[in-house]
Amino acid sequence: MGDFRIEGNGFLLDGRPFRILSGAMHYFRIPPAYWEDRLKKLKAMGLNTVETYVAWNVHEPRPGEFDFDGMADLARFVATAQALGLYVIVRPGPFICAEWEFGGLPAWLLADPDMEVRCCYPPYLAAVRRFYEALLPRLLPLQIQRGGPVIAMQVENEYGSYGSDQAYLAWLRDLMLELGVATMLFTSDGATDHMLTHGTLDGVWKTANFGSRADGEFATLRRHQPDAPLMCMEFWNGWFDHWGEPHHTRDAGDAAAALDEILAAGASVNVYMFHGGTSFGFMNGANTDLETRRYQPTVNSYDYDAPLSEDGEPTPKYHAFRRVIGKYVDLPPLALPAPAPVPRLDLGPIRFTDYASLADNAARLGPTIEAAAPRSMEALGQDYGYTLYRTRTRHPGGTVRLSAERLHDRAQLFVDGVPAGVLERDGDLAIDVTLPGGPCVIELLVENQGRVNYGPDLQDRKGLLGWVRLGINKLYHWEMIPLSLRHLDVLGFGAYDGRPTDRPGFHRAAFDVAAPGDCFLDLSGWTKGAAWLNGFNLGRYWERGPQRRLYVPAPLLKQGRNELIVFEQHGSACRTAALHADRGAA
């Protein structure tokens, strides 16, 4: 059995001085076949610990239904780290931010119209308890006190930049202790007085998050915690990207100098991110600007300009960090990569031969739910994807303004099946449409582009959130079809037949691979949508950028025949795609 504790301004690990040199990796963003490879590269950079969040929405996709297998096998990830001689820091939330959908909270929480997360709202606390009662028994045997590698666990996450419910933080700490957590507990917050006031607990070790100016940040932390080890729990060495904004990078030399400042102060550090990986599927998060509240959905790539790239390759920042760390500790041999390099794949063009329109297949993809007025995705029992809202009405012919009270996040409008425009969350939510006169069908295909993962707009319900009007008249009697797009095997495909494909639909291609390899899916010329490879949702593409290609890890490919399905929301003249060995320019 082991022991890890604070002694003065430092740590003792089994009675010997220890400095935490950690790197962040999220098991749920990395194919399990690559966990060992990424962890070996983390250790080779000179780190002795790996840190990971725990994504509640991955593990409890529906209330009371738990998943700890495959990419959700947290215990296997921790055991893999231990086998490589690494220690582990676990941050189980329940909120994690992480640029992950709803900050890791499950969407079904929002089906409760009175829900208040991250506070002492009783139904929320009951849900957290149920999750922790399923999660923590899997982690308890992995604590250092029981011979495992877990040296610390976090209480909540950056609570000082969200709320002020100290009773909630204390309840969460007490729940962890009640359920058997014996390892060190800590909080992490931005190094400001107000964040460290609202986000910390007496008797719980405090850490700070920042990307530069270590001396000033640590001075603030010292005011709140004079006699404990200093640690930057999130050393932000890169950043993430929103759709429609420039790709973020940070100079390797600048980041390495900032790391040097932290280590020169005698502090411990967690490099956030060491390896970002990918927010596959519909699991990307979003932000709202804290001043304008403008909605900012995040891309699927979580490369983060980290030392290890999205596809697991050491970058100049990796080598710069290794040189800095080598000033303070003896480095392990730089035997990279280990195991052998993953083969790369270039393949194209991949030709699409089959098509299934959304109009002909919507009823196959989800149940039709009827209500007098539009209902949110969460009220419909839906978490991710799209919802098709449909109403039938009569209206005089001519031009009339269609308007929506509130929309999250983006809607394509159709009149009698013909595209009539797009409404976006931050627009004026109104558009002029031309009606034929008499009966007509109004449809809105609404996309959840990612729930907000940080800040006061966290409780980000999706869909049509209020009335829809034609002129001054509210529209009633809605049919709603939740389109989570989890199972595409129900689609009725046929060969391209000359019908218009400028409307939402699914394009299918089959292609052969002699030997799988890592690659990136290139959908240049397509407009907006999502892509599935052999049934696995790779994520979204959008001509708006900055992400241009979707990462395809080799384990998702098969030797022989493979299937690619693209859901194109707007239509494209393209009938091909390609797989490239590199990500291309952002």
Looking up tokens 């411990």, which residue turns up? 268
Mean pLDDT for the stretch of residues 474-500: 92
Which distant-in-sequence residues (6+ apart) come within 8 Å of 466 by Cβ? 374, 404, 405, 406
pLDDT higher than threshold 90 for residue 284? yes
Give me 379's structure tokens. Answer: 């009220």
Mean pLDDT for the stretch of residues 208-212: 98
Residue 499: the pLDDT is 66
Mean pLDDT for the stretch of residues 484-500: 89
3-state secondary structure of 303: coil
Alpha helices in 201-334 (DSSP H): 214-224, 252-264, 316-325
The radius of gyration of the chain's CA atoms, rounded to the nearest angstrom, is 25
Distance of CA 324 to the CA centre of its chain: 30
Per residue in 130-161, pLDDT tens? 999 999 999 999 999 999 999 999 999 999 99
User: Among 259, 279, 247, which residue's Cα sits nearest to residue 326?
Assistant: 259
- Going by pLDDT thresholds of 50, 70 and 90, the confidence category of residue 1 is confident
Per residue in 163-199, pLDDT tens? 999 999 999 999 999 999 999 999 999 999 999 999 9
3-state secondary structure 128-142: HHHHHHHHHHHHHHH
Is the preceding peptide bond at 94 cis, omega within 30 degrees of 0?
yes
Residues 450 and 102: their CA atoms lie apart, in Å, by: 7
Give me 277's structure tokens. Answer: 């990986």
3-state secondary structure 474-522: ECCCEEEEEECCCCHHHCCCEECCCCCCCCCEEEEEEEEECCCCEEEEE
Q: CA geometry: angle at 387 spanning 398 and 276, to 5°?
A: 130
Residue 335: the pLDDT is 64
Residues 77 and 99: their CA atoms lie apart, in Å, by: 21
**Alpha-carbon dihedral angle through residues 106, 107, 112, 113, given to the nearest 10 degrees:** 140
Residue 336: the pLDDT is 55
C-alpha dihedral sign at 109, 112, 113, 116: negative
Residues 276 and 256: their CA atoms lie apart, in Å, by: 18
Of 21-35, 326-340, 511-525, the range with the lowest mean pLDDT is: 326-340
- Going by pLDDT thresholds of 50, 70 and 90, the confidence category of residue 333 is confident
Euclidean distance between the first and the last CA atom of the chain, given in angstroms as a whole number: 48
Contact 311, 62 (CB under 8 A): no
pLDDT higher than threshold 90 for residue 268? yes
Phi-psi region of 567 (alpha: psi -120 to 50; beta: other; left: phi over 0): beta
Per residue in 77-115, pLDDT tens? 999 999 999 999 999 999 999 999 999 999 999 999 999
Residue 338: the pLDDT is 54
Looking up tokens 């194209």, which residue turns up? 348
Distance of CA 286 to the CA centre of its chain: 9
Alpha helices in 21-121 (DSSP H): 35-44, 56-59, 74-83
Residue 342: the pLDDT is 86
Residues 481 and 483: their CA atoms lie apart, in Å, by: 6
- Going by pLDDT thresholds of 50, 70 and 90, the confidence category of residue 472 is very high
Percent of the chain with pLDDT over 90: 95
Residues with a catalytic annotation lie at 158, 234
Q: What is the mean pLDDT of the chain?
A: 96
Per residue in 370-410, pLDDT tens? 999 999 999 999 999 999 999 999 999 999 999 999 999 99
Residue 168 one-letter amino acid: Y
Phi-psi region of 121 (alpha: psi -120 to 50; beta: other; left: phi over 0): beta
- Going by pLDDT thresholds of 50, 70 and 90, the confidence category of residue 63 is very high
Q: At what angle do helices 316-325 and 252-264 cross, to 10 degrees?
A: 20
Of 322-326, 501-505, 539-543, the range with the lowest mean pLDDT is: 501-505
Mean pLDDT for the stretch of residues 408-416: 98
- Give Cα separations from 242 to 84, 284, 533 (angstroms): 35, 10, 24
Which distant-in-sequence residues (6+ apart) come within 8 Å of 207 by Cβ? 186, 187, 188, 189, 221, 231, 232, 233
Residues 446 and 385: their CA atoms lie apart, in Å, by: 9
Give me 528's structure tokens. Answer: 């907006």
- Going by pLDDT thresholds of 50, 70 and 90, the confidence category of residue 538 is very high
